[in-house]
Amino acid sequence: MTDPNLDLQESGWEELRKEARKIEGDLDVKLSSYAKLGARFTQGDTGSPTLGSSRSWKSMVIEIQSLLEKLLDINDAMSRCAASAAPTTSVTQKLARHRDILHEFTQEFRRIKGNISSMREQAELLSSVRDDISEFKASGGMSPRMQLLRERAAIHGNIAHVRLNLF
């Protein structure tokens, strides 16, 4: 006859593994989608992000972080479940593999998030430079005030030069 506690622990372990595999699959899909969103910047979409796309980025980040936290909680529960029973080599290896997968997903998320952040900053900088150039061209070069200030600076420079030569 088998120990009912052992059966309960095994069914709990299997339920946790099933849930972990489901979340790992969801994370894989979400990270792939997140990377594709970031790839749009490298394919020429260098305009500033719209409000809608900003919301979609933020919601995707929140979803991925939530899934990573759930997977971490499930891994912790699996560790407790394995510790409460006599852990076999198979259970230990499976638990280690789930931890490795969590670590890989976390690293991948950080890498993609960093790349996207860099690309967005670069796109925003390029956009602001383009705006400045357009504004400069639209104003006909320089505003009258700026032209006067430039002329004044040139006059003061010449006066200083004359003073040095005379005295």
pLDDT of residue 4: 42
The CATH number of whichever domain residue 91 belongs to comes to 1.20.58
153 is a domain residue: no
33 CB-contact burial (10 Å; exposed 0-12 / middle 13-18 / buried 19+): middle
The domain total for the chain is 1
Does some domain include residue 132? yes
pLDDT, residue 167, reads 65
- Judge whether 24 lies within some domain: yes
In a domain, 146, yes or no: no
The percentage of residues in the chain with a pLDDT greater than 70, rounded to a whole number, is 82
Annotate 21-32 with b (16+ C-beta within 10 A) or e (fewer): eebbeebeebbe
Q: In whole angstroms, what is the distance from residue 26 CA to residue 30 CA?
A: 6
pLDDT for position 32: 94
Q: Reduced to 3 states, what is the DSSP secondary structure of residue 103?
A: helix
Domain, as residue range, for 124: 4-141
Q: What is the pLDDT of residue 2?
A: 47
Asked whether residue 111 is domain-assigned, the answer is yes
Give the pLDDT confidence of 100-112 residue by residue, as tens digits: 999 999 999 999 9
pLDDT higher at 101 or 115: 101
Residue 157 included in any domain: no
At 13, which amino acid appears? W
Q: Does the residue 161 lie in any domain? A: no
* Domain presence at residue 107: yes
CA angle 108/72/24 to nearest 5° reads 55
